Chain A
Amino acid sequence: MSQISARQNLYSKNRRSLFHGFDPVLSIVVGLLLFLGTLLVWAATRDWYARSGLDPQYYLKRHIFNILIGAVLAYGVTVIDYRLLRAYTPILWGAAVLGLLIVLIPGLGYEKNGARAWIALPGGFQIQPAELAKVGIIIGMAMILSERSHDSDKPSNKNVLQSLGVAALPVLLIVLQPDMGTILIIAASVVTMIAVSGASSKWVVGLLLLAVSGGFIAVQAGIVSEYQVKRLQTFVDPNADTQGSGYQLRQARITVGSGGLLGTGLFNGPQTSGRFVPEQQTDFIFTVAGEQLGFVGSGSILILYLILLMRAFSIARRTNDPFGRLVCTGVIAWFAFQMFENIGMTLGMMPMTGVPLPFISYGGSSMFATLIGFGLLQNVHARLRG
């Protein structure tokens, strides 16, 4: 009894607060990840830029700027009742699809690391529509899958098909870039959301089989670019390509391994400083953590992710609203698989894919998207009792 009254007390107390109804643990964990990420981005770029006679804080400043924009977006997402979000979802989804189309238009979209994934904006900024597509797909699918006829507690097959359609168009466009890493993450989110929606198990099994055979056919038919196949080969045999991705993966592993238990100390990593690992402020940022912070530091990052995901699961469990739960589930799968893909690649457990590490890697679009994802989690949490 006293517990309930205490909680009610707390809610009334925070009613006027700016962060009313937020999960403080989730916020603290994300805050810590952002803080560590900021240090690591700085550590990854400081010596490199200083040596080239450039501003050593160039990346640091831009990274903080990205976080601030992301924080505003996240806050914006939390203050709107997520149930209202449904109304905006078609717009968001449409914008993502439009962005993915623009990316493919020569002259507007541009290619980096073998994927046509970016739109250049004035001021040296770039935007990656695929990141926003993740948010659009998750909310769009959650919307459709949470629609219920009154006599059923699970989505109809028609709804499931509709929700797959929501995912299919952006995925198809991303295949054309091609950005296999993002497709894998979206696929993981799609399957997880359908499974948690309560839909028939046949859907889940069917989708998993489709994913496996689809991947196989894609490689065989050459839909997946030679560049992707090469990355996959070097994953199987890291010595196959000593200069290209095999080199990068080996360097990444050596860099992480050389950190040992305690690391070489922040800002003091010869491997990082020598830039033996490419993209170390973005896709390979975990190597900086591995080298400079050692097992203690990089292991702590893993624990932070684990806490974040467990809190998100707890929110998904506690909400009574299927839409909120599915949004949570989608965001969890997104964060978890993206994190696993990124760190797994760095540690040589996963093939090389260019996905950023959530909350840590440098990169505007990814930062905005992951912070919106965080905002969605807080939004659902804030309305647990609403």
Chain B
Amino acid sequence: MNSKSRLSLLVVQILIVSLVVALFGRLFFLQVASGAKYQDAALSIQSRDVITPAIRGIIVDGSGVALASNKVGLAITIDRIVVDELSDKGVALMQRLANLLQLEYADIYQNTRLCGELPAGQKAGCWQGSRYQPIPITKSADPNTAIQIVERADLFPGVTAMPVAIRSYPSFFDVNAAHLLGYVGPLTENDLLSTNEKQYYRSESIGKSGLEIQYDSYLRGVPGIRTVIVDRKESITRESQNKASIDGDHLVTSLDVRLQAATEKALKDAVLRGRANGYTSDSGAAVVMDVKTGRILAMASYPTYDPNSWEKGLTVQQAKDLFSEKKSVPALNRATQGLFAPASTFKVISVVAADKAGYNLNATYDCPSQVEVGTRTFRNFDSKNQGRMNINTAIAVSCDTIWYQIAFDEWLRDGGLKAKSNRNDYFFKAAEAFKLTDRVGIDLPAESASRIADREYKKSWYEQNKDFYCNYKERAKKDQQSAFLIQLAAENCVDGDKVRAGDAVNFSIGQGDTVMTPLKLTQTYAAIANGGTIWQALIGKAIVKTDGTVVESFTPKKLGTLDVKPSTIKFLQKGLREVVVRGTAAGVFSGFPVEISGKTGTGEVFGRNPDGSAKDDTSWFASYAPSNNPRYAVVMMIGQGGFGASTSGVGVRAIYSSLFGVSGNRLVPDAALFPEGQPPSQLPKISLVIKKKGEVE
């Protein structure tokens, strides 16, 4: 062998050894250095999770009547992966489906778009889930129609019919309770990505609002998971785990379905009555609370919507209407989220303030037709001069001018615009004593906090708005450039951070920037009724299993007490009874066989409706009963409803009539919803066979 051959052979040998070394290195990298990563990748290739959603727990009222249950529906679903592959992106297919199912093409189109695919503002009715799950366009298809679809797979590619469990709100006694119950819907990508310790699976439905979301972790149960190992053709080669689903537990609420239905009806009637009397009456809320426990027996908000509409398949119009200003935003729960000036119902706070300030509650005061406060004139309700009266009467007839005088005098004593450092602030402190800005602690999502227009509020308001008012001519719209508004803006710019005389006077009668939720006012009146205990407002009573085992009980917490002398509370109770006996609500409750105590409120509202008309007054009636041994607090509020008594007072009377079994002016004890005089304290039996609690019981 010559040297050249020898050298070549060596070169080839070195080359080949290095190739083998390279393979070795690569093998090490894949199997040892990145082995874990590839093991995960392999697992995701081989395994498929088949999720069986658990049967969702039902929601019942205090006596076991179902408010939310489940039923079997026939869903028609669209597979976007298949449909998007069609040459026309499924347009013809969706048109055929619309014809067959008697739906609108536009709704099917919108319902099958992922929310992320649509521009902001046009998302109404979009699919909140993902592209990889079949998207239902209806869950209540007719079986004959479904068969036509399944048999003509050539005409309906990617369309499937399958039985699904659907959430059903059975509406016994025509109950609605939409704002309380909420609804369930598909998981969103955010739910899947969220790190709140809950593990979700793509095919699950979860609570989206109301009690459904509040108690979702109990109601949802644990979905069953069957993991199978598949081959390349997706045929199953073996099973690696099979865990059965665990059904969700049931929620027992303190609601009473009959009282809830009666409250909803009374609320709606009050709105219609307001409209009949010429008021806009665009919204309302009513709450019934057990003053001894804080439990909510009924809560309604107007306008409302059909809680079943989601499962039926929400049309685009329905979805838009839910949040439409023109339709008064039916999605909003006004009992917990609506903020309104409490008007004269707030005078219970003013009584406490006057007492603290040393005014003799039994002395008599002038109730003139108007009071001059600085350069402005504040008129009594209807500019009526009602003569001299004691505070008790002042509450009964709802005199405003007495409170104007006291509030103005106290404001002056505290230094007026130049507030003293050792000021008393009796009115603000009285509001604090009622703990009005604390939340009610209701077990519903997104409760709004009430707001007291005190000195801190004024300061923060000013910080946010001074730029606008101090540059009013540049910032404000043309149509807001009237001489009066420019003058007002100039005043706001100068001393908008201070409590002015007008603010102090308005505060004393619950007007101005002080706003409360109807539920907070209910809690406050319940506290007056029970002698001072502020109970957390709670709807959920317990989580139970079908066999009756109690998983968890919920007891309202004692959030605090009214920081008011017992004698003053007694005084308030007497005054509130006077309102109904001979005051502003006497006519409404004339002849009513159960003693009611309460307070009317008629709140002025500034601003204009979308149609340009001035806004009508807020109508309030806050009450409790029976007066001598209070058990229930009932509050109704009608937005733009006009007078407190005639609109809301009548509504509250209707609620008490159902509650106590009053027919006309006659008490029919057998007709009372709670014959023992109190809501049931025992938990009901859960029956999955939906039962309608009817007249037989």
Which residues of A come within 8 Å of B, CB atoms? 47, 51, 153-154, 192, 195-198, 201, 204, 251, 253-261, 270-271, 273-276, 290, 294-295, 298-299, 302, 305-306, 309-310, 313, 316-317, 320, 322, 325, 329, 332-333, 336, 340, 343-344, 347-349
* Least CB distance, B240 to chain A, in whole angstroms: 9
Contact A257 B11 (CB under 8 A): no
B389 to A: closest C-beta gap in Å: 86
Ranked nearest first, the 10 interchain pairs of A and B with the lowest CB-CB distance are A257-B38, A258-B42, A274-B231, A260-B35, A295-B31, A195-B8, A257-B30, A198-B5, A153-B2, A336-B16
Q: Which of B19-27, B115-123, B470-478, B539-547 contacts A (4 or more CB under 8 A)?
A: B19-27
Asked if A295 and B27 sit within 8 Å, CB to CB, the answer is yes
* 22 A-B interface contacts by CB (under 8 A): A51-B231, A51-B237, A192-B8, A198-B5, A201-B4, A256-B27, A256-B30, A257-B41, A258-B41, A260-B31, A270-B42, A274-B45, A274-B231, A275-B231, A276-B231, A276-B232, A294-B31, A317-B9, A322-B1, A340-B23, A347-B26, A348-B26
**Interface on B for A, CB 8 Å cutoff?**
1-2, 4-6, 8-9, 11-13, 16-17, 19-20, 22-24, 26-28, 30-32, 34-39, 41-43, 45-46, 229-233, 235, 237
Q: Main secondary structure on chain B at its contact with chain A?
A: helix
Interchain CB contact under 8 A, A273 and B237: yes
In the assembled complex, the Cα of A295 lies from the Cα of B35 at a distance in Å of: 10
The total number of A-B Cβ pairs within 8 Å is: 143
- Asked whether B27 lies within 8 Å of A196 as measured between CB atoms, the reply is no
Do the beta carbons of A258 and B39 come within 8 Å of each other? Answer: yes
- Chain B residues near A201 (CB, 8 Å)? 4
Contacts of B19 in A (CB 8 A): 336, 340
18 more contacts with CB within 8 A, not counting A261-B31, A271-B46, A306-B20, are A51-B231, A195-B11, A201-B4, A253-B30, A257-B30, A257-B37, A260-B32, A270-B229, A274-B231, A299-B27, A302-B23, A302-B24, A316-B9, A325-B5, A329-B12, A333-B12, A347-B30, A349-B22
When the two chains form their complex, are residues A261 and B35 in contact, meaning their CB atoms are under 8 A apart? yes
Chain B nearest CB, measured from A52 CB (Å) = 10
Are B23 and A275 in contact, CB atoms less than 8 angstroms apart? no
Once bound together, how far apart are the Cα atoms of A123 and B318, in whole Å? Answer: 70
Write out the residue numbers on chain A whose beta carbons fall within 8 Å of the beta carbon of B30: 253, 256-257, 290, 347
Known: A274-B232, A290-B31, A306-B20. A254 touches B9 (CB 8 A): no
CB distance from A300 to the nearest CB of B (A): 11
- A316 to B13 alpha-carbon distance, docked (Å): 11
Docked Cα-Cα span, A198 to B8, in Å, equals 8
A195 is contacted by which of B12, B26, B36 (Cβ under 8 Å)? B12
A273 touching B231 in the complex, CB below 8 Å, given contacts A295-B27, A302-B20? yes
Residue of A nearest to B230 (CB): A274
Q: Complex formed: what's the CA distance from A47 to B229 in Å?
A: 13
Task: Say whether A192 contacts B12, CB under 8 Å.
Answer: yes
Residues A349 and B1 in contact in the complex (CB < 8 Å), given A255-B42, A258-B42: no
Q: Tell me if B232 and A196 are in contact (CB < 8 A).
A: no
- A201–B23 Cα distance when bound, in Å, is 29
A273 / chain B contacts, CB cutoff of 8 Å: 229, 231, 237
A49 to B519, CA, bound (A): 70
Q: Are B45 and A276 in contact (CB under 8 A)?
A: yes
Give the residue name and chain of the A residue nearest to B234 (CB).
A274
Report B-chain residues with C-beta under 8 Å of the C-beta of A329.
9, 12
- Contacts A253-B30, A270-B46, A295-B27 given: A198-B4 contact, CB under 8 Å? yes
Rounded to whole Å, the gap between the CB of A307 and the closest CB of chain B is 10
What residues on A are CB-neighbors of B39 within 8 Å?
257-258, 260
For B20, list chain A residues within 8 Å (CB).
302, 305-306, 309, 336, 340
> How far does the alpha carbon of A197 sit from the alpha carbon of B34 in the complex, in Å?
43
Q: Which residues of A contact B46 (CB under 8 A)?
A: 270-271, 274, 276
Cβ contact of B38, chosen from A254, A309, A333, cutoff 8 A: A254
A302 CB, nearest partner CB in chain B, Å: 6
* Nearest chain A CB to B513 CB, angstrom units: 60
A302 to B25, CA, bound (A): 11
Smallest CB gap from B26: residue in A: A347
Assembled-state Cα–Cα distance A329/B5 (Å) = 11
Q: Determine how close the nearest CB of chain A comes to the CB of B134; give it in whole angstroms.
A: 23
Chain B residues lying within 8 Å of A253, measured Cβ to Cβ, are: 30, 38
Least CB distance from B79 to A in Å reads 19
B1 touches A271 (CB 8 A): no
- Across-interface contacts of A299 in B (CB, < 8 A): 24, 27-28
- Which of A271, A294, A347 lies in contact with B23, CB distance below 8 A? A347
